[in-house]
Amino acid sequence: MSTEPEKLRNLMRSIFMTHRDEIGCDTCFDQMDLFAELTLAGKDVASAMPHVYRHLQMCKACREEFEALLSALKLL
Amino acid sequence: MEDRNNEEWVRALGGVPDSGVLAALRETLLRGLRYALKQRYHVTESDLEDFVQDALVRVLDNLDTFRGESKFTTWAQKIAVRVAFSELRRKRWENISLQDLVPDDTSEDDSSGASPLSWMPSSELTPEHQITQHSLGALLQDLIREELTDLQRQAMTAIALKGMPLEEVARRMGTNRNALYKLLHDARQRLKQRLEAHGVTVDDVMAAFSPEP
């Protein structure tokens, strides 16, 4: 079983997007509620909370949860 | 119920929780989760109720950690989402071991293409792009074998190439999601340095994998 080029590209991209100071999943979770509210308010979250923004780009598990949270909040 | 402010939520749920307020929170979390999960994930109403029940216990247990930086319901919904995803991932992957997913393949001979670390260039590309993809793939494969620890190699393969969620890999490795993220971060940093030392740039990668039509 071989790995598709798309997965190789994504892995390569994540390697090149690596920053020296990335936050972990715990810190991301800690700030995700505020980040979600700022996102829904249309704020520039990449500038306001760059560490969370970057973590969500790198971490699929946190990104899935963030997207679900946003979706749930749209209903509230 | 939505006009309750944060202090009112915390006051009503602290100590012996007000049953009416607890019911209101349960309904809010249930509606949010239902909306967020039902279209994309296979969940039943009974699953949703179980997730919310677990989430409520966790919300009450962690009430003193709520700092009021967001609305209380946003904070509680975040916890409900985490509970739901943890359970969905656990169920989805429960019969798959790390060994099944990432067999030991530290041997040099990988010509069979059986290893998860071997990859085929996309056949829709021009021969030049196929060769570039193949070379980059081979280089990365070598670096993953030579530069990473066994743990890093196993985790990176399971997550990035096999799609196993971070926390499921962490559980199997006897660690936690946060620690595993940091281990992978170190691995990515190492690979980035080594790729750069080989003269590979992000532009090379993008050009090889997103060729002009």
| Structural domain count, chain A | 1
Element (DSSP H or E) covering residue B176: none
* pTM passes above 0.90: no
- To the nearest whole angstrom, how far is the Cα of B16 from the nearest Cα of chain A? 26
A11: in domain: no
Asked if A68 and B81 count as a contact pair (C-beta separation under 8 A), the reply is yes
The tokens of A36 are what? 């979600």
Q: Is pLDDT at A1 greater than 50 in this prediction?
A: no
pLDDT at B120: 63
Beta strand ranges found along chain A (DSSP E): none
Closest listed residue to residue B113, CA positions, set B135, B138, B93, B94: B138
- Contact status of A43 with chain B (Cβ, < 8 Å): no
Q: Is B6-93's fold the same as B115-209's?
A: no
* Overall fold of domain B6-93: Rna Polymerase Sigma Factor; Chain: A (1.10.1740)
For A29-64, write each residue's pLDDT tens digit.
Answer: 999 999 999 999 999 999 999 999 999 999 999 999
pLDDT at A76: 74
For chain B, which residues score pLDDT lower than 70? Answer: 1-2, 105-124, 211-213
A4: in domain: no
The alpha carbon of B151 is separated from its chain's Cα centroid by a whole number of angstroms, namely 17
Asked if A25 and A59 count as a contact pair (C-beta separation under 8 A), the reply is yes
DSSP state, residue B211: -
A53: in domain: yes
ipTM of the complex: 0.93
A8: in domain: no
Beta strand ranges found along B13-132 (DSSP E): none
What are the chain B neighbours of A72 within 8 Å (beta carbons)? Answer: 32-33, 35-36, 77, 80-81
Closest listed residue to residue B140, CA positions, set B183, B211, B195: B195
- Asked whether the beta carbons of residue A65 and residue B209 sit closer than 8 angstroms, the reply is no
What are the chain A neighbours of B113 within 8 Å (beta carbons)? Answer: 1-2
Closest listed residue to residue B110, CA positions, set A40, A69, A2: A2
Spell out the residues 6+ positions from residue A28 whose beta carbon is closer than 8 angstroms to its own: A51, A52, A55, A56, A59, A62
Q: Where in the sequence is the domain holding A44, given as residue range(s)?
A: 22-75
Instruction: Indicate if the alpha-carbon torsion angle A38, A42, A47, A53 is positive or negative.
Output: positive
Helices (H), A17-49: 25-40, 45-48
- Contact status of B78 with chain A (Cβ, < 8 Å): yes
Angle between helices B19-37 and B72-93 (to 10 degrees): 50
Q: Which residue has the tokens 């620690």?
A: B179
The tokens of B43 are what? 């969940």
- Asked whether the beta carbons of residue A16 and residue B202 sit closer than 8 angstroms, the reply is yes
A37: in domain: yes
pLDDT at B117: 65
pLDDT at B3: 78
Torsion of CA B43, B59, B82, B29, to 10 degrees: 40
| Domain boundaries, given as residue ranges, for chain B | 6-93, 115-209
pLDDT at B12: 96
Q: Which residue has the tokens 């809010």?
A: B28
* Overall fold of domain B115-209: Arc Repressor Mutant, subunit A (1.10.10)
Q: Is pLDDT at A65 greater than 50 in this prediction?
A: yes
Phi, psi dihedral angles at B178 (to 5 degrees):
-65, -45
Q: Which residue type sits at A45?
A: V
Q: Return the number of other C-beta atoms located less than 10 Å from residue B127's C-beta.
A: 8
